[in-house]
Structure 1
Amino acid sequence: MRLKPYFQLVRLPNVFTAAADSLSGWLLVGGLLVDADSWLPLVVASMAIYAAGIALNDVFDLELDRVERPGRPLPSGKVSKLFAVGLAVCLMAMGLMSASMVGVRPAIVAGGLITCVVAYDAGLRRTILGPELMGLCRGLNVFLGMSLAPQFGGPAAWTVAAAMTVFIVGVTWISRFETEVGRRAASASGLLLQSVGITALFGAGLSAESFPSPWTDRPSVPVLGIVILALVSSRILWASGRAVLEPRPETLQRAVKVGVLSLIWLHVGVLACVREPTSALAVAALWLPASLAARWIYST
């Protein structure tokens, strides 16, 4: 059996960005890498629910994809619709059970995330609320990693989750018309929202003392974290800016791909500001499988 169509169905490269969300959330609120029995179920839940949502999205998009994207797994017949539905249901159940293993609050967040994912896929994505709901899914994914901390880590941690929410709203606005030409307004709105989210992340990185249990050896000026954020932000804004200036499928899809995969490095940048280097390195390690998979499997 060829696995590539099944990996394409769940957008395998993007699944690693979901892992970065929850792992980063756990580390930002003072969680430790050695406590794998706490963070690993949260990461598994994030990845499973994300993959389920993407598969379910293709189920609901099947008729549209027959026209616009006939080579995708479902319209091409490489994966059956029944299998895709079954996979989505199983992955959602797996995600909810995994989160439930470590507590009631993670289970509640995972349940809310699943509700938002289904609502988005089932029809709200085609409304004005679609990008906002997609962003909320990403924010809840970060909150899932924070769910074991008192008050979810407090206002500083909430700022990171909110920033990721706004950033993904921007990415989603760009992706809405990724198969069309000349839709400059949506791309410009997406670029603006991405900029707002990135600015908030810079603010969070510069206020590390507001996070729970800050590390005493953190430098007064987190140079490494700021440099990482600056580099990844410039790449994101360049790709999105080009999509605004030249709104065609190639530039739009490139901007979406860069935006989604750069999520890992946005998390790394914030962690490098707030936590000790090993925390940032742990999330950075997710870039390798994500980037390798992206060479083989599309991520938009």
Structure 2
Amino acid sequence: MRWRDLAELVRLPAALTVPGDTLVGAAAAGWPSGRRTAALPFASAALYWAGMALNDWSDRELDAVERPERPIPSGRVQPDEALAVAAGLTGAGLACAAVAGRRPLAVATALAAAVWTYDVVAKSTPAGPVVMASTRFLDVMMGAGGRREALGPAAALGAHTLAVTAVSRGEVNGSTTGTARAAAATTGAVTLAVAADALLGAPRRAAPTGACAWPQQVAGPVLAASYAAAVLPAQLDVVREPDAGNARRATGVGIRGMVPLQAALLAGRGAVVGALGVLAIGPLAKLGARVVSPT
């Protein structure tokens, strides 16, 4: 197995969209793991890559018909190699989470279980999008060590993931207008909820420390609007023409749209500098998608 084939198997650049999850959770919960939080983005990336490898292992027979260019059906990666990569990356993700403490490790274990459940059991069932959404939800909660303060941001990223996954089911045979409308409506609702939380919640969260709330009140809604501007047009294209090409484009845009959404959530929780840092990942993810497909 060549390095290029491995990169394609795990959708290497797409993992740039996950480090912000744990940072959002940590910011929402007051950075409970302290400096050890730095290990959690690596846990997220490893578990994401594990899920991608396991996805291709699970879909190897279907891909032989629908996507013969993928690493396994093309013969560039053997099925047992893909399964070994998935298992090894899962172990690496759990090890990184353990560095942050027992509570993040407990959530990481649930996240790993959700990843394997999705790829091996739930993906082709009606529950598939919900299980996939739960992985992003749990990724945020891992950063928070399971603390309830992160439930809102986790729900926002989970809802976005639900919409993207529903549209992604049409990447080969096309989506439906109803699915695309629901996805666009979800994007609109998430945008409004995140902007409102920054505007109304920032003063309350800043009051105990005496910090100034206005940077959060400005940056949060602005970044929420940038998220909508990045994601909605492609989803509306699927509403107008729900063919496979538009569904693939909307899926790719939706995956990269995680980044401005994470930035908006970080800014709304007072981590404006962190939000700008996460936002800088966006161009890298877009550039990487030109080399290795994120879907």
Q: Normalized against structure 1, the TM-score is what?
A: 0.90
Is residue 202 of structure 2 the alignment partner of residue 208 of structure 1? yes
Deviations 1:18-72 (A, max 9, x none): 1111122223333399x54x11221111111111011101101011111111111
In 1: Cα distance, 2:209 partner to 2:170 partner? 42
In 2: Cα distance, 1:215 partner to 1:60 partner? 52
In 1: Cα distance, 2:289 partner to 2:107 partner? 29
In 2: Cα distance, 1:268 partner to 1:190 partner? 20
- Which of these residues, 124, 140, 143, is aligned with residue 142 of structure 1? 140
Is residue 5 of structure 2 the alignment partner of residue 10 of structure 1? no
In 2: Cα distance, 1:13 partner to 1:215 partner? 40
Q: Match of 2:62?
A: 64
Greater Cα offset, 17-26 or 252-261: 17-26
Give the alignment of 1:23-172 within 5 angstroms.
23-31=23-31, 35-36=34-35, 38-147=36-145, 152=147, 154=149, 157-172=150-165
Q: Percent identity?
A: 33
Shift of 1:136: 0.6
Q: Please tell me the root mean square deviation across aligned C-alpha atoms, in Å.
A: 2.2
Q: Is the 8 A contact 1:21 1:267 kept in 2?
A: yes
In 1: Cα distance, 2:92 partner to 2:161 partner? 25
Is residue 261 of structure 2 the alignment partner of residue 261 of structure 1? no
Q: Match of 2:183?
A: 190
User: Tell me, what secondary structure is at the counterpart of 1:237?
Assistant: helix
Q: Normalized against structure 2, the TM-score is what?
A: 0.92
Q: Match of 1:225?
A: 220
In 2: Cα distance, 1:86 partner to 1:48 partner? 13
Shift of 1:79: 1.4
Q: Is the 8 A contact 1:56 1:121 kept in 2?
A: yes
Answer 1 or 2: which has greater helix percent: 2
Q: Is the 8 A contact 1:26 1:145 kept in 2?
A: yes
Q: 1:57 to 1:182 in 2, by over 3 A?
A: closer
What count of residue pairs does the alignment treat as equivalent? 293
Q: 1:61 to 1:222 in 2, by over 3 A?
A: same
Q: 1:250 to 1:94 in 2, by over 3 A?
A: same
Q: 1:219 to 1:118 in 2, by over 3 A?
A: same
In 2: Cα distance, 1:249 partner to 1:220 partner? 41
Q: Structure 2 unaligned runs (5+)?
A: none
Q: Structure 1 unaligned runs (5+)?
A: none
Q: Is the 8 A contact 2:97 2:108 kept in 1?
A: yes
Q: 1:50 to 1:210 in 2, by over 3 A?
A: farther
